[in-house]
């Protein structure tokens, strides 16, 4: 088969390498507009489940990823300067650039044709000369836009503002920090992804963003302002920019996942708010799901139909949980009056995928402390 893939992110690269490994006769080309060393963002997060899927599909990628990653099982919630730890949440983090380099290396070893600094401008022409064209071209996918009348995307720009930074302050475990300032409530999502650096995403509502005056600030002023808001948490370490810009989260869904021989994958196909995991995890799992449809011996139309049939319910469930989580963060100011323990409980159960019983199994000490806090201060019950 002649397979063309637009986009050398996690979705495009992992799909390319799995298909080539499965049948070396496939002619597979990945076109990526950036250079191999370019990347936006810092660390990415996986669950144990994602890693087990990687292990079962490409042991070598699994080995290289797990050599370079950080693992943790705690979520730390910092509210009013108090840190509440909730255990039993196993995750791993790796630098996005490291992950991309590993996948690029595996693609090269297997004979995938990687073309960097190559912008695909004529998608229709590429589709006409491919047996399969994969639009793994990210959240602002041009493939999705070009065939919008067939994919029928639903794009919703959310109200909160967020910005992706790094820092050399090390946050062991996923740390969710809330700080109130004169402008409003700020939340930071942070985690260590290698021995020297952590991801540090700051999020706030539109009113807070306006009152803080970010519209008139440049990169350095913004970082200085936020480093002050989170001064106690950053321990004097600066925030590091990597083309970091304020964004509004774009929630992407598509009614149809393929059109003729064209299929969307990863962020082009769907997004899920970063507060519940990561787009990287979904991108890799999409690649595995699509590959598995071809590995069953299905032809292109059958495989694309099967991919949508098996994967769509999984994504819909994940997006629902991510949506609940996103809405909680959009309304964080409504929970900020809670004492630290009920606040942490509300945060941990926000997606409705984790409930009281589930938390009790994960971390009985947390639930005991939460129960005690309700007795001591019944009014602050979540």
Ligand X SMILES: Cc1cc2nc3c(=O)[nH]c(=O)nc-3n(C[C@H](O)[C@H](O)[C@H](O)COP(=O)(O)OP(=O)(O)OC[C@H]3O[C@@H](n4cnc5c(N)ncnc54)[C@H](O)[C@@H]3O)c2cc1C
Q: Draw the binding track, 2-21, toward ligand X (x: CB under 6 A; -: no contact).
A: ----xxxxxxx---------
| Among 58, 70, 76, 137, interactor with ligand X by CB under 6 A | 137
Site for ligand X in 165-184 (CB under 6 A): none
Q: At what angle do helices 300-330 and 279-295 cross, to 10 degrees?
A: 160
57 forms part of the interface with ligand X (CB under 6 A):
no
42 forms part of the interface with ligand X (CB under 6 A):
yes
342 forms part of the interface with ligand X (CB under 6 A):
no
**Which residues have C-beta within 8 Å of that of residue 232, sequence separation ≥ 6?**
81
Cβ-count burial 258-277 (b if 16+ within 10 Å, e if not): bbebbbbbbbbbbbbbbbbb
Residue 147 DSSP SS3:
coil
Let me know: does 17 contact 58? Beta carbons within 8 Å.
Answer: yes
Task: Retrieve residue 237's tokens.
Answer: 């370490």
| Among 29, 34, 74, 320, interactor with ligand X by CB under 6 A | 34
Beta-strand relationship, 174-180 and 75-79? parallel
| Among 153, 184, 266, 342, interactor with ligand X by CB under 6 A | 266
279 forms part of the interface with ligand X (CB under 6 A):
yes
How many residues at the interface with ligand X, by CB under 6 A? 33
Which region, judged by CB under 6 A, interacts with ligand X, from 39-47, 170-178, 291-299, 346-354?
Answer: 39-47
CA-wise closest residue to 189 among 163, 221, 156 = 163
| Among 104, 175, 177, 199, interactor with ligand X by CB under 6 A | 199
Q: Draw the binding track, 97-136, toward ligand X (x: CB under 6 A; -: no contact).
A: ----------------------xx---------------x
Select 329 or 335, whichever has its Cβ closest to ligand X.
329
DSSP secondary structure code for residue 278 in this structure: -
Select 34 or 181, whichever has its Cβ closest to ligand X.
34
Let me know: does 126 contact 134? Beta carbons within 8 Å.
Answer: no
The length of the chain, given as a count of residues: 382
Strands of the 27-31 sheet, one edge to the other: 113-115, 27-31, 2-6, 132-135, 262-264, 258-259
Select 204 or 338, whichever has its Cβ closest to ligand X.
204
Let me know: does 13 contact 97? Beta carbons within 8 Å.
Answer: no
Task: Retrieve residue 331's tokens.
Answer: 């309304």
Select 10 or 340, whichever has its Cβ closest to ligand X.
10
Shortest separation between residue 380's beta carbon and ligand X, angstroms: 33
Which region, judged by CB under 6 A, interacts with ligand X, from 147-155, 226-234, 265-273, 309-317?
Answer: 265-273
Where do contacts with ligand X occur on this chain (CB under 6 A)? 6-12, 31-34, 40-45, 96, 119-120, 136-138, 142, 164, 199, 266-268, 278-280, 283
């Amino acid at each position: 088969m002649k397979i063309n893939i637009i986009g050398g992110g996690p979705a495009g690269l992992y799909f390319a390498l799995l298909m080539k490994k499965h049948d070396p006769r496939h002619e597979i080309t990945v076109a990526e507009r950036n250079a191999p060393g370019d990347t936006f963002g810092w660390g990415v997060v996986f669950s144990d489940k994602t890693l087990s899927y990687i292990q079962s599909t490409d042991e070598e990628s699994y080995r290289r990823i797990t050599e370079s990653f950080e693992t943790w099982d705690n979520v730390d919630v910092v509210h009013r300067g108090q840190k509440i730890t909730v255990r039993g949440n196993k995750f791993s983090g790796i630098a996005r650039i490291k992950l991309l380099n590993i996948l690029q290396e595996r693609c090269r070893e297997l004979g995938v044709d990687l073309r960097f600094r190559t912008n695909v401008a004529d998608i229709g022409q590429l589709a006409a000369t491919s047996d399969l064209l994969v639009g793994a071209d990210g959240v602002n996918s041009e493939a999705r836009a070009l065939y919008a009348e067939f994919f029928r995307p639903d794009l919703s720009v959310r109200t909160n503002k967020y910005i992706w930074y790094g820092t050399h302050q090390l946050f062991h475990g996923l740390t969710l920090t809330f700080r109130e300032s004169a402008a409003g409530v700020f939340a930071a999502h942070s985690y260590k992804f290698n021995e020297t650096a952590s991801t540090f995403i700051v999020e706030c509502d539109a009113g807070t963003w306006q009152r803080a005056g970010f519209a008139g600030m440049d990169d350095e002023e913004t970082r200085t302002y936020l480093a002050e808001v989170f001064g106690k948490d950053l321990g004097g370490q600066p925030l590091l920019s990597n083309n970091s810009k304020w964004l509004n989260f774009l929630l992407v869904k598509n009614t149809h996942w393929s059109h003729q021989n064209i299929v969307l994958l990863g962020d082009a196909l769907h997004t899920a708010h970063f507060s519940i995991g990561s787009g990287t995890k979904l991108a890799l799992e999409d690649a595995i799901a699509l590959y598995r449809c071809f590995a069953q011996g299905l032809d292109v139309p059958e495989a694309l139909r099967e991919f949508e049939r098996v994967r769509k319910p999984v994504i819909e469930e994940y997006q629902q949980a991510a949506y609940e989580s996103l809405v909680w963060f959009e309304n964080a100011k409504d929970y900020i009056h809670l004492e630290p323990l009920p606040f942490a409980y509300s945060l941990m159960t926000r997606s409705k995928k984790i409930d009281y019983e589930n938390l009790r199994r994960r971390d009985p000490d947390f639930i005991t402390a939460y129960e005690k806090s309700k007795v001591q201060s019944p009014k602050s019950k979540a």
